[in-house]
Structure 1
Amino acid sequence: MDWTRYRSPSWDELMDRSGQPHPAARPLIDYLTHLSRKELSERQATANLTAKAMGITFTVYSEGRNVDRTLPFDLIPRVIPRREWDLTAAGLRQRMRALNLFIGDIYGPQKIIKAGVFPRELLQDSVNFRPQCVGIRPPLGVWAHICGSDLVRDGDGRLYALEDNLRIPSGVSYMVENRMLAKRVFPELFETSAILPVDDYAAQLYDTLAALSPRPGEVPVIALLTPGIYNSAYFEHCFLAQSMGVELVEGSDLFVGDDDICYMRTVHGPHRVDVIYRRVDDAFLDPEVFRPDSVLGVAGLIRSWRAGKVALANAPGAGVADDKVVFTYVPQMIRYYLGEEPILPNVPSYLCHDPVQRAWVLDHLDELVVKPANESGGYGMLIGPRSSKRQREQFKQLITAHPRNYMAQPTLSLSTAPILGPQGPEPRHLDLRPFILSREDIHVTTGGLTRVAMKKHSLVVNSSQGGGAKDTWVVDTDEVA
């Protein structure tokens, strides 16, 4: 592979601006340089066929059809030095401590509001605040047991937190599967390089769930609750249930008895369930409490949870902090609850509910990325520099009508990494989603899911919008040196 013409428009994860590899990436670049284009194309084809054979898919909802697609995988990994990652992981643990304290406070005494640190009106207008959760204290005081935080690197080379996903974060199965594909493509490098493993995620997740069991001292019965085969993340639900050795269930497989205990229907009769890792949204979780027309959840499940007879991860109501407007207050949460300065900075943000900031946003829509507070998957956004006048006018009306529902951020010069293009390496923008597991202690994955925009110049990395994925290598540079 020829790197002489490779240049990035931004900070690159593998190469510096002079065209030389970063120290942690040098063994990888040296290795790739000695492979011909044909050899690399053959290895990419092998990875694609393996991904298809393994069923590594996601579902795209398009024109009323559910279309299963293989997640595009680019064989050139992203490389992060271990020293940098250790600091990043510390920042993620700090964020999770503060976020869990915030959620517990919001459903409890609301001290942060009384102290004037967090505006009460934001809570009153929050679509993810669940009054049914007020006064509840879940096991270990943890509300968000599984979080996927999206990180981006700007043109200055510094990592920033872009958002925190605390409702039903997805993508971790692709992180694990990407490593399996990379080992098939580059077995030699895994024998000679100090690439830190990611294989322990299923065991860590199991331990996190088991720690919540209302029957300590007994082997817990754990179930993963899925909406079913038509859900876009169904592959992940199956993968995680199988990897942990737990039951994969749908709402119809469970019921809550008169004793408030949650049971699973089996051929041998009802069997008690201790912990549910739910991949069903709050609104559909329990028709007794939330949407009465839901057929995805379990009637009485919240009653069982409130009685302490079953544990739910993530806890209902955790989504109150999964809000792009609430996200902007995480640095204040860290200072208020922990008395510390944030390790990971937030991407600068502008709040449209504030009249002064809203006026500035409306005057600079052509420069900003505007996001709705509670959408995901890259939907509902305005990317100002690439928008039309008509789109900006539409967003002016949306923001003016519902200012609480929008926030804006500067258009970052997202970092890039090379993908294997037809003529050689080509830079593409990317982000990173590490996963954080919270119990008595907090576990952060080694790296995370690197999502990459496969389209040239695109800033949208979501798989539903044409993005793909890479393996993420956290490399111990002391050993490399």
Structure 2
Amino acid sequence: MGNVDWQQYPGRDFYDELIAAGGAPRPAAAPLCDMLQSFTPSELNERKLAAEVAIRTMGITFTVYSEGSTIDRAWPFDIVPRIIPASEWRGIEAGLKQRVDALNLFIDDLYHDQKVIKDGILPGEILAQSVNFRPQCRGIDPPHGIWAHICGSDLVRDGDGTVYVLEDNLRVPSGVSYMLENRNVTKRVLPELFQTGRILPVDDYPAQLYDTLASLSPRPGDEPQIVVLTPGIYNSAYYEHAYLAQQMGVELVQGSDLIVDDDDVVYMHTVDGLKRVDVIYRRIDDLFLDPEAFHPDSMLGTPGLMRAWRAGKVALANAPGAGVADDKVVYAFVPKLIRYYLDQEATLPNVPSYLCMFDDDRRYVLDHLDELVVKPANESGGYGMLIGPRATAAERAAFAERIEADPRNYMAQPTLALSTTPTLFDGAPEPRHVDLRPFILSGPETHVTMGGLTRVALVKDSLVVNSSQGGGSKDTWIVDTEED
């Protein structure tokens, strides 16, 4: 096998992020493609091996739950980055800011006057049957009116090159540590390309996250005491919790490390005694956060946290209750929410969606299950969904019964022709489908990561990119071209 020949690259059936239909590299990807073409297959494999060694040495892992046990695995990574020109990224960035601004206004409205329902924009039955609406949060006014301080919105590109928002993650979005580590690994194995200065940096995220969290402190005159609250070492995202705490220079704590006193002030146990806590970046789901307010048998949270938050003595990020906007049925209304709250048209489109709670939509979905992707309203990680064209008749029949039994819980979308990008197998690039999760920080200012976590389906023809189901990831380069 010789060096890479992009004219022979088989990625012609879908929009490819690096290679245009004629086999020529896209302008922003040309330096990378030229460099890859200069490598022999054995040289490419050496770089790939170097990345695997770096990942093991750096201890970059993720946790898989399997048959009652937990398994730590090395982070699956492909060395060929995904590239987006900066000129295109500026539009995506503006669209993400617009979207998260509207979502924060929406969440705040739901916990106060619910004008969006009174004005007929969102059907009341959607809220009435929401599993993530928290009545305990009614009337609370978080700092800056922001509920989702950290949001991860998943983007996909269709066959014609259009970028769509696939879903929003506002509860405890994960993956940003892998975005940062992907860049660190790529700098080790492809250092030559970073000397041009055209690849825009992502390493300012921990500082931006710290500043966003610090801005929430109830004691603005003092240096805030910030902690990252983790469920513990057996959580699938524990690596990320520890990584972000270390990068920000703050303490990583579990629920038992915190205590709330009679004055609703939160303290952390330290070797020097109790120390007041101002801001908690919590990576625990709402229902386990405070046994006084939610699950009384939760051992993961801290009794009294909701009291302290309601009293304004501590800040919680993301705010409890923010997940009400995570609902994939609510997702279908986001363009209307943008129009309602911002008086603007959405600049990033949604994927066309059918809501099974509506009779006409449900009939269409049931008649076209072999063409659609059907998703439950509040699952994540790619679980519980039906990819109609890949499913058996028996699987589709079983899913139809679920939809009929609980129509509010299901929505459907066309099967998109997800874009591909070259991915290395045995020293040669093959097209694999990708999505992208940028992260948006909302505080006094809004920041969008320069790129995000590109997830790649390592199995040929698969559309499932989640690492828990056999997917991997790539570094994402936002590249300034001379035209920019």
Q: Same fold (TM over 0.5)?
A: yes
SS at match of 1:74: strand
Alignment pair present for 1:319 and 2:323: yes
Match of 1:341 in 2: 345
Residues 158 and 164, structure 2, Cα contact 8 Å, conserved in 1: yes
Match of 1:387 in 2: 391
Summarize the alignment of residues 257-268 of structure 1 with structure 2, pairs less than 5 Å apart.
257-268=261-272
Residues 291 and 297, structure 2, Cα contact 8 Å, conserved in 1: yes
SS at match of 1:425: strand
Alignment pair present for 1:103 and 2:81: no
SS at match of 2:398: helix
Hey, what's the Cα distance between the residues in 2 that align with 1:362 and 1:300? 46
Deviation of the 1:193 alpha carbon = 4.9
Hey, what's the Cα distance between the residues in 2 that align with 1:352 and 1:317? 24
Match of 1:23 in 2: 27
Hey, what's the Cα distance between the residues in 2 that align with 1:258 and 1:269? 17
Summarize the alignment of residues 30-429 of structure 1 with structure 2, pairs less than 5 Å apart.
30-422=34-426, 424-429=428-433
Alignment pair present for 1:472 and 2:476: yes
Hey, what's the Cα distance between the residues in 2 that align with 1:345 and 1:237? 32
Hey, what's the Cα distance between the residues in 2 that align with 1:191 and 1:467? 30
Hey, what's the Cα distance between the residues in 2 that align with 1:55 and 1:230? 16
Match of 1:2 in 2: 5
Q: Which amino acid aligns with 1:88?
A: I
Residues 7 and 22, structure 2, Cα contact 8 Å, conserved in 1: no
Hey, what's the Cα distance between the residues in 2 that align with 1:310 and 1:97? 23
Match of 1:463 in 2: 467
Residues 251 and 296, structure 1, Cα contact 8 Å, conserved in 2: yes
Partner deviation per Cα, 1:338-397 (whole Å, 9 max, x = no partner): 000101000111000001100000000000000000001110010000000110011100
Partner deviation per Cα, 1:420-469 (whole Å, 9 max, x = no partner): 11251100000000000000111000000000000000000000000000
Q: 2:449 aligns with which of 445, 460, 463?
A: 445
Hey, what's the Cα distance between the residues in 2 that align with 1:28 and 1:7? 18
SS at match of 1:478: coil
Alignment pair present for 1:454 and 2:458: yes
Give the 4+ runs in structure 1 shifted more than 3 A. none
SS at match of 2:120: coil
Partner deviation per Cα, 1:233-258 (whole Å, 9 max, x = no partner): 00000000000000100000001001
Deviation of the 1:3 alpha carbon = 2.0
Residues 6 and 24, structure 2, Cα contact 8 Å, conserved in 1: no
**Aligned residue pairs, count:** 480
Partner deviation per Cα, 1:64-115 (whole Å, 9 max, x = no partner): 1100011111000000000100000000000011000000000000111011
Hey, what's the Cα distance between the residues in 2 that align with 1:371 and 1:52? 35
Residues 226 and 250, structure 1, Cα contact 8 Å, conserved in 2: yes
Hey, what's the Cα distance between the residues in 1 that align with 2:413 and 2:481? 34
Residues 370 and 388, structure 2, Cα contact 8 Å, conserved in 1: yes
Hey, what's the Cα distance between the residues in 2 that align with 1:423 and 1:105? 53
| TM-score in terms of structure 1 length | 0.99
SS at match of 1:270: strand
Q: Which amino acid aligns with 1:197?
A: P
Hey, what's the Cα distance between the residues in 2 that align with 1:423 and 1:85? 30
Residues 7 and 17, structure 1, Cα contact 8 Å, conserved in 2: no
Hey, what's the Cα distance between the residues in 2 that align with 1:112 and 1:90? 24
Deviation of the 1:267 alpha carbon = 1.2
Hey, what's the Cα distance between the residues in 2 that align with 1:188 and 1:105? 50
Q: Which amino acid aligns with 2:470?
A: G
SS at match of 2:96: helix
Deviation of the 1:478 alpha carbon = 1.9
Hey, what's the Cα distance between the residues in 1 that align with 2:47 and 2:5? 17
Alignment pair present for 1:434 and 2:454: no
Hey, what's the Cα distance between the residues in 1 that align with 2:245 and 2:439? 17
Hey, what's the Cα distance between the residues in 2 that align with 1:167 and 1:193? 35
Hey, what's the Cα distance between the residues in 2 that align with 1:71 and 1:343? 34
Q: Which amino acid aligns with 1:228?
A: G
Deviation of the 1:2 alpha carbon = 2.5
Instruction: Structure 2 unaligned segments of length 5 or more: list them.
Output: none
Q: Which moved more, 1:239-248 or 1:421-430?
A: 421-430
Instruction: Structure 1 unaligned segments of length 5 or more: list them.
Output: none
Residues 7 and 24, structure 2, Cα contact 8 Å, conserved in 1: no
Deviation of the 1:263 alpha carbon = 0.5
SS at match of 2:384: coil
SS at match of 2:78: coil
Hey, what's the Cα distance between the residues in 2 that align with 1:400 and 1:52? 47
Deviation of the 1:4 alpha carbon = 2.6
Partner deviation per Cα, 1:148-171 (whole Å, 9 max, x = no partner): 000000001010000000000000
RMSD after superposition: 0.8
Residues 6 and 425, structure 1, Cα contact 8 Å, conserved in 2: yes
| TM-score in terms of structure 2 length | 0.98
